[in-house]
């Protein structure tokens, strides 16, 4: 494949040669060298494709009519709202999961880490729907499935059995959630999560909505286990909304510990203060990724399957105005997440790093209209071509 007339990361117009699913050469654009079968970039921008590393495919209502928000405050109240409604949606769960993933790929996401809720209510039904969608789109995207105890691990007898069954069924990551605030027994909660991770040799991803000092305390327990079990590079903290709210000294210590133990972090670009500063995380070498969380589900009406849109939200909520910071947000949404899903992908080398488009890099690419990377984020154009593993998988917001 020759991709003619594209501008990698907004640079000069170039021709990109792809061989065996990898970028083999990048040359100055030569209009006279066009041949039949080339991909016409038409001067559009070239980026790595997006990596959504925090999404709940199993709770999506994308494509269905909007409904009044009925969730009660707090994780438990929101979870109950989902539990009371997910079976009565206008179409079945497998179709909702497939439709959401298809829409994500069509808009430029070819790497996905998705949660699959497992509990005594849904048992393995949501997990199996997500695994089926992963199999269906195996040639269009890399999908990593995490078994996730959205209702906690200890509050309902039998949850651990379903977690183990999903791990035997192919889950690649085990999740945990609010060890102190939801299950109210952080030691036992984390012992189960890390014990299952060690038993099945999978990674850990901890949902952390807890406030301030409580969140720091839970994080310290996670870090202790990461160090003791030698799980460096295999643990992610998701959300961590208030990990940066206690003091500058605590913020610095948490970031340094993440860097030392290679603990990754994912954000969904929330509003509000108290988050760990992204610039400091990236500068310290912490792997940081972006995700869309729920997609117009029973928790929230937000989410539209478009990671370029979520990148705009990340830049906006972080109050980024300088071009290099908006481009950093793009790097987090693309290769930052990819480095969480695969150790073969290098982490961002710093705030100015624009990775993923070098010779030897995997050809997971997005071609999109725009003048500059910043303008692409601001305008979020629809003239998009999506390439996965060296093959065009979507064009014009539709799978091919």
Mean pLDDT over 120-149 rounds to: 98
Query: Is pLDDT at 153 greater than 90 in this prediction?
Result: yes
Query: For residues 7 and 45, is the Cβ–Cβ distance under 8 A?
Result: yes
Q: Which CATH number fits domain 2-48+357-399: 3.40.50.1100, 2.30.40.10, 3.30.2130.10, 1.20.1250.20?
A: 2.30.40.10
Element of type H or E holding 264: strand 264-267
Distance of CA 320 to the CA centre of its chain: 20
Domain spans of the chain? 2-48+357-399, 50-341
pLDDT at 117: 98
Query: Is pLDDT at 80 greater than 90 in this prediction?
Result: yes
| Per-residue b or e along 300-319, where b marks 16 or more CB atoms closer than 10 Å to that residue's CB | eeebebbbbbbbbbbbbbbe
Superfamily classification of domain 50-341: Metal-dependent hydrolases (3.20.20.140)
Query: Is pLDDT at 272 greater than 90 in this prediction?
Result: no
Query: Is pLDDT at 42 greater than 90 in this prediction?
Result: yes
Query: Is pLDDT at 37 greater than 90 in this prediction?
Result: no
Cα-based distances in Å from 215 to 263, 267, 285, 318: 15, 15, 22, 21
Distance CA 169, CA 147 (A): 10
pLDDT at 114: 98
pLDDT at 273: 87
Category of 108 on φ-ψ map: left (φ > 0), alpha (ψ -120 to 50) or beta: left
Instruction: Dump pLDDT digits (tens) for 210-256.
Output: 999 999 999 999 999 999 999 999 999 999 999 999 999 999 999 99
Mean pLDDT over 171-200 rounds to: 98
The whole-chain average pLDDT of the chain stands at: 97
Instruction: Dump pLDDT digits (tens) for 242-254.
Output: 999 999 999 999 9
Element of type H or E holding 256: helix 248-261
pLDDT at 126: 98
pLDDT at 243: 98
Cα-based distances in Å from 17 to 140, 160, 164: 20, 49, 44
Mean pLDDT over 99-112 rounds to: 98
pLDDT at 389: 98
pLDDT band at 178 (very low <50, low <70, confident <90, very high): very high
> Which of 9-13, 23-27, 36-40 is predicted least confidently?
36-40
Distance CA 358, CA 330 (A): 16
């Amino acid at each position: 494949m020759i991709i003619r007339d594209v501008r990698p990361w907004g640079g000069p117009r170039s021709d990109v040669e792809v061989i065996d699913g990898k970028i083999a050469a990048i040359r100055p654009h030569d209009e006279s060298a066009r041949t039949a079968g080339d991909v016409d970039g038409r001067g559009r921008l070239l980026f790595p494709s997006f990596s959504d590393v925090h999404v709940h495919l199993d709770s999506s209502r994308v494509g269905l009519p909007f409904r009044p928000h009925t969730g009660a405050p707090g994780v438990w109240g929101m979870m109950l709202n989902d539990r009371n409604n997910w079976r009565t949606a206008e179409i079945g769960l497998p179709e909702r999961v497939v439709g959401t993933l298809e829409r994500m790929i069509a808009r430029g996401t070819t790497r996905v880490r998705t949660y699959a809720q497992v509990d005594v209510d849904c048992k393995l039904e949501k997990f199996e729907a997500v695994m089926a969608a992963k199999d269906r789109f195996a040639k269009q995207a890399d999908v990593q499935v995490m078994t996730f105890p959205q209702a906690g691990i200890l509050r309902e007898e039998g949850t651990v059995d379903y977690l183990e069954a999903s791990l035997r069924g192919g889950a690649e990551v085990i999740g945990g959630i609010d060890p102190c605030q939801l299950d109210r027994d952080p030691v036992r909660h984390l012992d189960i999560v890390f014990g299952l991770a060690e038993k099945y040799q999978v990674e850990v991803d901890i949902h952390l909505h807890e406030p301030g000092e409580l969140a720091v305390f839970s994080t310290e327990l996670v870090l202790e286990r990461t160090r003791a079990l030698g799980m460096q590079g295999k643990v992610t903290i998701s959300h961590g909304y208030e990990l940066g709210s206690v003091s500058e000294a605590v913020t610095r210590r948490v970031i340094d510990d993440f860097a030392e133990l290679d603990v990754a972090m994912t954000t969904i670009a929330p509003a509000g203060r108290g988050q760990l500063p992204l610039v400091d995380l990236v500068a310290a070498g912490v792997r940081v990724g972006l995700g869309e969380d729920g997609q117009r589900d029973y928790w929230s009406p937000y989410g539209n399957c478009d990671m370029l849109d979520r990148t705009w939200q990340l830049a906006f909520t972080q109050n980024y105005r300088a071009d290099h910071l908006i481009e950093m947000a793009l790097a987090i949404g693309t290769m930052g997440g990819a480095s969480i899903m695969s150790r073969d992908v290098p982490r961002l080398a710093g705030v100015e790093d624009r990775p993923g488009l070098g010779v030897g890099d995997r050809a997971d690419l997005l071609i999109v209209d725009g003048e500059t990377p910043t303008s692409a984020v601001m305008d979020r154009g629809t003239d998009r071509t999506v390439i996965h593993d060296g093959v065009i998988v979507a064009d014009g917001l539709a799978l091919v």
